[in-house]
């Protein structure tokens, strides 16, 4: 055996197999991160090449074993890890009956992690070929949130992407030790729904359980209960699904799959890794309920249990049993009686279909149909006399899911008595509700275990306005009689109950204001109690718990969903983690200055406006006042020195404005403050509006944040405490956007005022105190220009031609500094940039004939300076555009219309110059000013010279923005949101230069300028991904903001997840790197000083001696 290494490119491994020598191939080849093992069999290495033989003739199992061992050896020989590196395996078996034993050998050697395929071939009994991958990390390009329907169609693309990505994976966008240091990510699910959240062991083999949930945003996810990290998640909402309430999620201990349903879509996912097992969509028919069949058939072969689903159509209800592995329908029971399908449930022997039969006067009766679990045939049917109590599905409190004695629980309308029916019997037990609290009962919930072998106990939780109590009931299995066992006392404040079971024992965990209590269902003795300080106004809504018995005592983990949307895990009374799930669906965000910075800015402002004498006195006073911080400062000094030498980051950059707090407003009316310096930790959060609100704008003012709403009112939020105050508008006019009059003053922005814009594009009030023009858009797709004194008639109006409607208008960012007004060419001549702060880029689309127009307008006169038309544009795909400095970019999906056009996602970039000739400043030449108001004249605005180029890209871009730095010296990055791969990519501007030479290599002058040959296909480099391996889903908007460091730009993405990072498009050139060792520097200086001190007397003595000798 020999290993031949051929530099970086390829590594080969060959064995003494007779076929290898005869045909001339290698056993394994490694190229980059991929290892390919050629077809292997149990070849006898001792046999001659002329007459090759196999080992273990006739024994397929041994042959498979030998072959697989050989393969693993080959993988290890070229640098792979071994069996765990294998990603694909194809096996050919010549006799069908050998498949079983070969499979066993496969499982024995390769374990469970791989998807193998068995195929039949002639000749040898077994032949195996394998592809392995030696890279260890999870790759960013694999989008786990991809909808399963797209998965098969994008399979090829994913493979290609993986292949391309594997080549570049060693160089990632940021260093691994910077992850979580310069960036943070809230991977969110949304508020978990209480009946679809549970702890579950992901497979029968695992010891630890994961926390599974389906949120109100219909995101199905698994969370690691240890640290609250997201393991996997999928969005199971379908855009074409009918809006059908909350989703459902079911899982069973010992089952490998969790099954989720939302609307008309049902899907089964591998509990361990979130891979799709099967899915079904029922066009327009809602899934009303799902259950996993816990009972096992004799015929059952796999670990995956079958699913029962109740599908509610317009005029029928249908119960179906789906095979756990394939999703095939085993049987179907159709009910066409016109009842409202309600739920399915199962007992050890039967499946129950519960429907509501409408009776007189809007009241309903409960009908229970028992079905045979094997065949789905109806075995019995009962109608419970519930008239008067039940009016609809919402008045049934509980319909027992998979308990040993499934129950239906409801109450009478006055909450006087509780009615209980053990499903399968006709008997209704009525129990009086003993309400001693003196308050009206607001809410009754029933908690029962969900396992077949649990004790038939359940708990009823009564909630009043200010407190709650609970009662535990036992069901006698034989007589179906229900008796009250004991009561958990009435307590003021919040109280939530969670049920959990160990084997047959049932435990109830009660989380209240001051404690967490665990009781067994059998007796009222408290078996676990922990004090918890959770007495906030932030009430718990629901909880799930996992109880572990440790000898006589118990340990409990309870996950509590609070009113604020926080999802909190309390382990034995300790809060382990909190996930701010209400952060999902953020609609607006802004950075605010830290408080002390603002104080100083305010003081400086005072000094600036004072007389010289007054300012001097003010300043002296300020410094004297500052002296009070001196002792603290001195005290902190040694620690600061030590930490600056020892800390990871050489310089603490927080004082350079890289750790600014962020204020985020969500659609549900909450406002959060996040500390970007501490992984986006929540500083405070507040419910600023009771209902969902329509936020139009968010602006940071000194000390506070103003959130403008669509009804003209605004909410001001104190930036440091979160105290809110609402200011209603005088006249309730609906505004579609807010105009902010912001001018750039040096490197800071000054806000002069603002005005609301109505839906027709007109300003709500004249803006007399501002000199300038205002450009707005109207809902009917026009762009309007206004002058300060008149808010009735616009001074100009731009109507896109040929039936197009303006869908988007953008302008240069308010802070968009230009470092150089010209572009220096290779021969050191200058192309002057066409720079105007008044430019407007309008994207207009004609949805009928699929034409998109891009119009560059002058915002003052409304004149069209440049226009471009794209035919074959798909208006349903995202069209995004951005403008900065002297260039604009847009992206769309284009169809092949003409000969030269291409089908696919395109990114077009256009640069504007004053003239096509170098060293020429156009007709205005050296004039310092120009006006847009005179179309002809010496000072009028000339048309730009536009250079454009388009690139083909692989993915749609839903949003574009540009990195902002303090002085604009740093290269800009085009930040593109890629919704299909859940990532954000920062494309460096030099790559998108439209002047790149086409179809030829650059001349030396062009090369000196940094231009390289144009390639129509723009492949996103792995180093460009700001999100690196993170899966940043649902991003609607990306913000960028300069810091005091010219190299660094802050980036914040929000909309679904929240992601924040620092972008350094030209590397962090003004920050000392981590390789710079302060300690080494200090030690060197100390050593040199020591050397000088030691050597100085010696040298002096020598000199004196020399003088004596010379004479």
- The residues of the shown chain that bind another protein, judged by CB under 8 A, are 696-697, 737-743, 755, 757, 770-777, 785, 808-811, 818, 820-822, 824-825, 827-830, 835-838, 840, 859-860, 918-919, 924, 927-933, 939, 941
Task: Supply the minimum distance, in Å, between the C-beta of residue 582 and another protein.
Answer: 23
Task: Supply the minimum distance, in Å, between the C-beta of residue 738 and another protein.
Answer: 7
Q: How far is residue 974's CA from residue 970's CA, in Å, rounded to a whole number?
A: 13
Task: Find, among 887, 831, 828, the residue nearest to 854 by Cα.
Answer: 887
Q: How far is residue 88's CA from residue 117's CA, in Å, rounded to a whole number?
A: 9
Task: Supply the minimum distance, in Å, between the C-beta of residue 815 and another protein.
Answer: 14
Query: CA-CA distances (angstroms) from residue 407 to 401, 472, 504?
Result: 8, 14, 18
**Closest to another protein by CB, 31 or 921:** 921
**Closest to another protein by CB, 835 or 897:** 835
Contact 487, 502 (CB under 8 A): no
**Closest to another protein by CB, 168 or 787:** 787
Task: Find, among 732, 739, 737, the residue nearest to 760 by Cα.
Answer: 737
HEC per residue, 263-299: CCEEEEEECCCCCEEEEEECCCCEEEEEEECCCCCCC
Q: How far is residue 285's CA from residue 265's CA, in Å, rounded to a whole number?
A: 9
Rounded to the nearest 5°, which phi and psi values hold at 565? 95, 0
Task: Supply the minimum distance, in Å, between the C-beta of residue 865 and another protein.
Answer: 13
Task: Supply the minimum distance, in Å, between the C-beta of residue 287 and another protein.
Answer: 38
**Per-residue DSSP letters for 240-261?**
TS---SS-EEEE-TT-SEEEEE
**Closest to another protein by CB, 375 or 827:** 827
Only one residue has tokens 């104190």, namely: 718
Q: In angstroms, how far is CA 52 from the centroid of its own chain?
A: 56
Task: Supply the minimum distance, in Å, between the C-beta of residue 397 and another protein.
Answer: 46
Burial call 399-423: b when 16+ CB within 10 Å, e when fewer: bbbbbbbbbbbbbbeeeeebbbbbb
Contact 700, 720 (CB under 8 A): no
Neighbours of 69 (CB within 10 A): 15
Task: Supply the minimum distance, in Å, between the C-beta of residue 176 and another protein.
Answer: 37
Query: CA-CA distances (angstroms) from residue 1035 to 140, 146, 370, 514, 1031?
Result: 16, 14, 47, 39, 11
HSE of 621 in the Cβ direction (CA atoms, 13 Å)? 10
Query: CA-CA distances (angstroms) from residue 653 to 375, 399, 650, 911, 970?
Result: 69, 58, 9, 35, 18
Task: Supply the minimum distance, in Å, between the C-beta of residue 692 and another protein.
Answer: 19
**Closest to another protein by CB, 109 or 1052:** 1052
CA dihedral angle for residue 330, residue 336, residue 339, residue 342, rounded to 10 degrees: 10
Task: Supply the minimum distance, in Å, between the C-beta of residue 608 and another protein.
Answer: 24
Q: Outline where DSSP puts E strands in 351-440.
A: 351-358, 364-371, 378-384, 396-399, 407-411, 417-422, 428-432
Task: Supply the minimum distance, in Å, between the C-beta of residue 919 and another protein.
Answer: 5
**Closest to another protein by CB, 511 or 739:** 739
Give the pairing type, strands 340-346 and 329-335.
unpaired
Task: Find, among 643, 677, 682, the residue nearest to 658 by Cα.
Answer: 677
**Closest to another protein by CB, 198 or 786:** 786
**Closest to another protein by CB, 542 or 941:** 941
Task: Supply the minimum distance, in Å, between the C-beta of residue 922 and another protein.
Answer: 10
Only one residue has tokens 């199992």, namely: 61
Task: Supply the minimum distance, in Å, between the C-beta of residue 697 and another protein.
Answer: 7
**Closest to another protein by CB, 701 or 828:** 828
**Closest to another protein by CB, 651 or 699:** 699
**Closest to another protein by CB, 45 or 923:** 923
Task: Supply the minimum distance, in Å, between the C-beta of residue 838 and another protein.
Answer: 4
Q: In angstroms, how far is CA 714 from the centroid of its own chain?
A: 29
**Closest to another protein by CB, 228 or 817:** 817
Q: How far is residue 946's CA from residue 866's CA, in Å, rounded to a whole number?
A: 8
Q: Outline where DSSP puts E strands in 796-836.
A: 796-798, 805-811, 822-824, 830-832
Contact 532, 515 (CB under 8 A): yes
User: Is the torsion defined by CA of 411, 417, 418, 421 positive or negative?
Assistant: negative
Give the pairing type, strands 210-215 and 851-858.
unpaired
**Closest to another protein by CB, 179 or 814:** 814
Task: Supply the minimum distance, in Å, between the C-beta of residue 196 and another protein.
Answer: 36
**Closest to another protein by CB, 392 or 753:** 753
Task: Supply the minimum distance, in Å, between the C-beta of residue 717 and another protein.
Answer: 19
**Closest to another protein by CB, 778 or 906:** 778
Task: Supply the minimum distance, in Å, between the C-beta of residue 1003 and another protein.
Answer: 17
**Closest to another protein by CB, 173 or 775:** 775
């Amino acid at each position: 055996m020999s290993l031949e290494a051929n530099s970086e490119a390829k590594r080969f491994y060959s064995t003494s197999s007779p076929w290898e020598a005869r045909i001339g191939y290698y056993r394994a080849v490694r190229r980059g991160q991929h290892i390919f093992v050629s077809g292997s069999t149990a070849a006898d290495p001792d046999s001659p090449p002329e007459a090759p033989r196999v080992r273990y003739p006739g024994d397929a199992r041994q042959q498979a074993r030998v072959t697989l061992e050989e393969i693993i050896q080959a993988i290890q020989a070229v640098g792979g890890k071994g069996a765990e590196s294998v990603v694909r395996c194809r096996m050919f078996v010549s006799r069908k009956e050998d498949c079983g034993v070969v499979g066993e050998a496969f499982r024995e050697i390769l374990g469970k992690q791989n998807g193998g395929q068995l195929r039949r071939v002639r000749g040898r009994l077994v032949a195996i070929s394998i592809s392995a991958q030696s890279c260890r990390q999870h790759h960013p390009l694999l989008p786990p949130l991809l909808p399963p329907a797209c998965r098969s169609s994008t399979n090829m693309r994913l493979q290609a992407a993986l292949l391309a990505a594997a080549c570049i994976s060693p160089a990632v966008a940021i260093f691994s030790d910077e992850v979580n240091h310069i960036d943070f990510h809230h991977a969110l699910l949304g508020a978990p729904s209480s009946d679809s959240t549970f702890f579950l062991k992901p497979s029968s083999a695992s010891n630890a359980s994961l926390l599974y949930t389906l949120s109100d945003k219909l995101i199905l996810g698994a969370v690691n209960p240890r640290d609250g990290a997201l393991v996997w998640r999928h969005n199971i909402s379908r855009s074409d699904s009918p809006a059908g309430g909350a989703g459902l999620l079911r899982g069973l201990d010992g089952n490998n799959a969790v099954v989720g349903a939302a609307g008309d879509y049902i899907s089964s996912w591998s509990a361990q890794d979130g891979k799709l097992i099967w899915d079904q969509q029922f066009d327009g028919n809602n899934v009303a309920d799902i259950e996993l069949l816990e009972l096992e058939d004799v015929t059952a072969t796999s670990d995956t249990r079958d699913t029962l689903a109740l599908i509610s159509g317009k005029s029928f209800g249908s119960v179906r049993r789906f095979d756990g592995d394939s999703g095939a329908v085993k049987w179907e029971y159709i009910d066409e009686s016109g009842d409202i399908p309600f739920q399915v449930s199962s007992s050890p022997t039967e499946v129950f279909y519960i429907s509501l039969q409408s009776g007189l006067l809007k009241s309903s009766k409960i009908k229970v149909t028992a079905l045979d679990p094997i065949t789905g045939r109806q075995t019995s049917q009962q109608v419970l006399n519930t008239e008067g109590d039940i009016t609809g599905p919402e008045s049934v409190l509980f319909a027992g899911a998979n308990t040993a004695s499934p129950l239906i629980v409801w109450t009478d309308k006055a909450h006087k008595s509780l009615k209980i029916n053990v499903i399968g019997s006709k008997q209704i037990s009525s129990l009086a509700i003993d309400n001693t609290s003196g308050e009206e009962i607001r809410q009754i919930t029933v908690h029962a275990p969900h396992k077949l072998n649990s004790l038939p106990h359940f708990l009823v939780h009564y909630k009043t306005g200010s407190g709650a109590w609970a009662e535990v009931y036992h069901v006698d299995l034989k007589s179906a009689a229900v008796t009250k066992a004991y009561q958990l006392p009435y307590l003021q404040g919040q109280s939530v109950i969670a049920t959990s079971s160990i084997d047959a024992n049932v435990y109830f965990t009660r989380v209240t204001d001051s404690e967490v209590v665990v009781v067994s269902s059998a007796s009222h003795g408290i078996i676990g109690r922990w004090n918890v300080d959770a007495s906030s106004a932030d009430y718990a809504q629901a909880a799930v718990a996992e109880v572990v018995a440790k000898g006589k005592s118990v340990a409990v983990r309870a996950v509590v969903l609070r009113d604020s949307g926080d999802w909190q895990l309390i382990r034995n009374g300790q809060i382990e983690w909190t996930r701010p799930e209400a952060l999902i669906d953020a609609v607006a965000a802004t950075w605010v200055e830290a408080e002390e910075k603002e104080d100083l800015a305010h003081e400086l402002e005072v000094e600036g406006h004072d007389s010289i004498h007054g300012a001097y006195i003010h300043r002296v006073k300020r410094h004297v006042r500052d002296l009070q911080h001196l002792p603290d400062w001195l005290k902190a000094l040694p620690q600061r020195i030590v930490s600056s030498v020892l800390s990871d980051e050489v310089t603490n950059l927080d004082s350079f404005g890289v750790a600014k707090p962020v204020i985020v407003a969500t659609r549900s009316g909450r406002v959060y403050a996040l500390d970007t310096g501490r992984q986006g930790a929540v500083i405070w959060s507040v419910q600023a509006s009771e209902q969902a609100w329509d936020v139009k704008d968010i602006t940071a003012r000194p000390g506070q944040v103003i959130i403008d709403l669509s009804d003209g009112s605004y909410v001001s939020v104190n930036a440091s405490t979160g105290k809110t105050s609402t200011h209603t508008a005088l006249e309730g006019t609906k505004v579609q956007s807010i105009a902010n009059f912001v001018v750039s003053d040096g490197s800071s922005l000054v806000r002069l005022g603002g005005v609301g814009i109505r839906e027709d594009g007109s300003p709500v009030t004249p803006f007399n105190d501002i000199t300038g023009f205002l450009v707005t858009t109207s809902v009917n797709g026009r762009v309007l220009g206004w002058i300060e004194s008149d808010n009735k008639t616009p001074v100009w109006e731009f109507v896109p031609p040929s039936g197009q409607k303006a869908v988007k208008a953008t302008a240069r960012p308010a802070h968009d500094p230009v470092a150089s007004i010209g572009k220096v060419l290779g021969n050191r001549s200058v192309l002057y940039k066409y720079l105007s702060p008044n430019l407007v880029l309008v994207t207009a689309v004609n949805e009928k004939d699929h034409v998109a127009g891009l119009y560059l307008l002058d915002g003052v006169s409304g004149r069209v300076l440049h226009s471009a038309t794209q035919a074959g544009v798909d208006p349903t795909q995202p069209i995004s555009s951005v403008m900065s400095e002297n260039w604009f970019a847009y992206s769309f999906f284009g169809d092949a219309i003409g000969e030269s056009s291409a089908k696919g996602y395109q990114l077009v970039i256009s640069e504007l110059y004053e003239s096509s000739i170098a060293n020429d400043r156009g007709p205005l030449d050296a004039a310092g000013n120009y006006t847009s108001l005179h179309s002809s004249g010496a000072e009028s605005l000339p048309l730009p010279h536009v250079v454009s180029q388009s690139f083909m890209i692989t993915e749609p871009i839903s949003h574009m923005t540009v990195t902002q730095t303090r002085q604009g010296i740093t290269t800009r990055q085009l930040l593109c949101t890629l919704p299909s791969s859940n990532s954000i990519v920062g494309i460096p501007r030099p790559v998108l230069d439209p002047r790149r030479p086409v179809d030829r290599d650059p001349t030396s002058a062009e090369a000196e300028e940094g231009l390289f040959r144009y390639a129509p296909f723009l492949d996103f480099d792995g180093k460009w991904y700001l999100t690196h391996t993170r899966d940043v889903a649902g991003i609607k908007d990306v913000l960028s903001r300069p810091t005091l460091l010219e190299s660094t730009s802050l980036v914040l993405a929000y909309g679904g997840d929240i992601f924040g990072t620092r972008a350094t498009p030209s590397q962090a050139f003004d920050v000392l790197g981590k390789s710079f060792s302060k300690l080494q520097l200090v030690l060197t200086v100390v050593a040199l000083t020591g050397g000088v001190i030691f050597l100085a007397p010696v040298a002096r003595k020598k000199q004196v001696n020399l003088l004596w000798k010379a004479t």
